[in-house]
Structure 1
């Protein structure tokens, strides 16, 4: 029993040693998975590739971009307000393809 308690304490204690560059483990249904943090940096809306703004106009007519971000993989995060005033987060690659993130 002491060994089980000790092994559990070691396992839980090792979770605190994860650095920001590693994945953060989560547990659900007894399975551990990693969550990858997406580091997006804000950019000017004018710096977005034309393909993204064209895709937005085509797929979300009347929507406007209030903020834009990019990560190291050239994936873009957009904070968009629809015609009805609903705010949403959209993700796209540099070619204007929508991403599920």
Structure 2
């Protein structure tokens, strides 16, 4: 019985030697680069197809700001009542999911 207890103590002692905790570095930094590929345009410069699609999808929506990118995709900041939203459309008035 003494041999069994002694071997159990030796086994548990050797297992605890390998249970070292590795240090965790607190120096991790996250860098976020925000690049806006959209440039602001006048609300009057938005094509009629986009305005028509906007009124069809969101009746009573007011177009606050409009932005366009190189692909002629429009980022529209709209307000409906007291709610504000940003929607995306192509030049033909088709809605984009971004």
Range of TM-score over shorter length: 0.5 to 0.7
- Cα pair 1:67 1:78 within 8 Å, conserved: yes
Richer in strand (by share)? 1
Name the count of aligned residue pairs. Answer: 68
Compute the TM-score of the two structures, normalised by the length of structure 2. Answer: 0.63
How large is the RMSD of aligned CA atoms in angstroms? 2.0
Q: In structure 1, how many angstroms separate the alpha carbons of the residues matched to 2:89 and 2:39?
A: 14
Gaps of 5+ in 2: 1-30
Compute the TM-score of the two structures, normalised by the length of structure 1. Answer: 0.62
Gaps of 5+ in 1: 1-15, 17-23, 25-36
Following TM superposition, the consecutive aligned residue runs of length 4 or more in structure 1 with deviations greater than 3 angstroms are none
Q: In structure 1, how many angstroms separate the alpha carbons of the residues matched to 2:82 and 2:89?
A: 21
1:55-66 → structure 2 map (5 Å cutoff): 55-66=53-64
